[in-house]
Amino acid sequence: MKLLTHNLLSSHVRGVGPRGFPLRLQATEVRISPVEFNPDFVARMIPKVEWAALLEAADTLHLVEVPKEPIQGYEHDESFLRQMHHVLLEVDVLEGTLQCPESGRLFPISRGIPNMLLSDEETET
């Protein structure tokens, strides 16, 4: 699971609503998978990122420090873009959990795949 994916995920346990974001990440196995760097691609991704959630996740994984917010003129800052490329796309959580911040419910990540299925009782009506 890449951090870009984590950035989109939210808990849908019944009653939780927007407080289900972001999910708290715990990782027991992480792999770095090289991905071809495409600066334009990364630059376009930046505005879509929920930055606080990314910071939190990167911090949990003890990654290279991510700036508190996108720096000015980031579109042309190759070093920044490379860093974000790495954090968003190359860090792959293979084993771990995602936790709903509101309900505490844990979702497993196995073999790189998060499983977000809930039982009937747990889902929103």
Partner 1 sequence: MDHAAAQLEKQHVHDVYESTAPYFSDLQSKAWPRVRQFLQDQKPGSLIADIGCGTGKYLKVNSQVHTLGCDYCAPLVEIARRRGCEVMVCDNLNLPFRDQGFDAIISIGVIHHFSTKQRRIRAIKEMARVLVPGGQLMIYVWAMEQKNRHFEKQDVLVPWNKALCSQPLSESSQPGRKKQCGHPERSHPYHPPCSACRCPVCFKGRWDSRRSHSVDCDSALAGTCCANISKEGEEENGFYNTLGKSFRSWFSSRSLDESTLRKQIEKMRPLKNTESWANSTISTQPSRHSSFDLDHPEPFSTGEQNLDEEVFVETSQKHLEWLRAPATHKHLNGDHPRGVRRNGDGNFLGSTNTKENCMDAGNLEEGTPSASKIWRRISAADSKDSNPGDTISVEEQQSDILDSGAFMRYYHVFREGELYGLLKESVSELHILSSGNDHGNWCIIAEKKESCD
Point out which residues bind partner 1 (CB under 8 A): 1-2, 4-5, 8-12, 18, 21, 38, 40-45, 48, 50, 89, 107, 111-118, 120, 123-124
Q: Least separation, in Å, of the C-beta of 60 and partner 1?
A: 18
Residue 112 burial class via C-beta count within 10 angstroms: exposed 0-12, middle 13-18, buried 19 and up: middle
How far is the CA of 34 from the CAs of 12, 52, 92, in angstroms? 32, 24, 10
User: What is the smallest separation between the CB atom of 9 and partner 1, expressed in angstroms?
Assistant: 6
Nearer to partner 1, 61 or 65 (CB): 61
Least distance from partner 1 to the Cβ atom of residue 110, Å: 9
